[in-house]
Amino acid sequence: MTASRGSSAESAEALAFERKRSVPPSPAADPPALLRPTGYDLREYRGKMVRRGPSGGRRVALTFDDGPSVNTEKVLEVLREHRAKATFFFVGGRILGKEAVALDVVRQGSEVANHTWSHVELKGLSEAQVEKTIRLTQEEIVGATGVQNEFVRPRGGACDDTALEVVRRMGLVMVGWDASGHDTFKEDKTVEQIEALTVREAGAGSIVLLHEMNPSTVRALPAILDRLEAEGYQLVTLADLLRPG
């Protein structure tokens, strides 16, 4: 007798195949199996903090930190309407119980990336601590979506040489940003300010930091996409922004 697999696992695999990304045999695979899912070489980006992509094309990568949250589906809806893609830096522990949301991100064509297991600051952690918080999150993302990612964003953009080296050894890429909506709750910006700051700071090759939990960010998003598209920008995933050629 052959055990039938769940439909979500099958469609996730099909999607991963379409995107020429490898699906590991098991979510519990060892770190070496978690390498190079994009199918192209990101070596030049490893071992440092990547803050922007090539400026040759008019491409911008929007990134949404700290989810999954009650707003993830709303963000996806706006992206769908605009046929835009983005990267969601999920906190591993927050995916528990929200696996379907993570899978929806991948189905929409966007990607789920790694924002540590518990939103811990990487700076000052030991090698083993950095490895664990990132590995657990990688495994959770693969378990939920069937798709690998190669990108890690440290909390607050703060990391040290130890964290950079561990991430490099895991075959992953540390990602910061060069543009932002300045939309943390602490910064307390209005919808209009978030829209204006994001559009002003974003340029060709930009990696843009946004926070999906802020309802003002979600409200600003349609206008942000309208304006960036009007300026001729294509909204892409980080994997697409950093893809060679």
Closest CB to Zn ion among residues 23, 120: 120
**Residue 111 in contact with Zn ion, rule: CB under 5 A:** no
Contacts of 120 (CB under 8 A, 6+ apart): 129, 133, 155
Map residues 46-65 to x or -, x wherever contact with Zn ion holds by CB under 5 A: -------------------x
Three-class DSSP category at 53:
coil
**Which class for 26: exposed (0-12), middle (13-18), buried (19 or more C-beta within 10 A)?**
exposed
- How many residues interact with Zn ion (rule CB under 5 A)? 3
Convert residues 2-41 into a mask of x (bound to Zn ion by CB under 5 A) and - (unbound).
Answer: ----------------------------------------
Q: Judge whether 155 and 122 are in contact, CB under 8 Å.
A: yes
| Integer CA distances (angstroms), 129 to 48, 60, 240, in order | 19, 32, 30
Q: Which is nearer to Zn ion, 21 or 182 (CB)?
A: 182
CA 132, chain centre distance (Å) = 19
List 65's β-bridge partners, or say none. Answer: 89, 211
Q: Which is closer to Zn ion, CB of 69 or CB of 198?
A: 69
What's the min distance (Å) between Cβ of 154 and Zn ion?
Answer: 9
Using CA atoms, how far apart are residues 45 and 236, in angstroms rounded to an integer?
18
* Shortest CB 88 distance to Zn ion, Å: 12
Residue 135 or 155 with smaller CB distance to Zn ion: 155
Q: Of 38 and 216, which has the nearer Cβ to Zn ion?
A: 216
Site for Zn ion in 151-170 (CB under 5 A): 155
**DSSP letter string over 10-52?**
HHHHHHHHHTT----S-TT--GGGGS-TTSS--GGGTTSEE-B
Among 66, 139, 140, 183, binds Zn ion (CB under 5 A): 66
| Pairwise CA distance, residues 207 & 50, whole Å | 9
Residue with tokens 């890690």: 152
CB of 33 to Zn ion, least distance (A): 27
Cβ proximity to Zn ion, 94 vs 155, nearer residue: 155
Which one of the spans 55-63, 147-155, 198-206, 225-233 is the region binding Zn ion (CB under 5 A)? 147-155
Stretch touching Zn ion by CB under 5 A, among 25-33, 68-76, 137-145, 150-158: 150-158
Residue with Cβ nearer Zn ion (54 or 215): 215
Residue pair 180/156 in contact (Cβ under 8 Å)? The answer is: no
- Binding residues for Zn ion, rule: CB under 5 A, are 65-66, 155
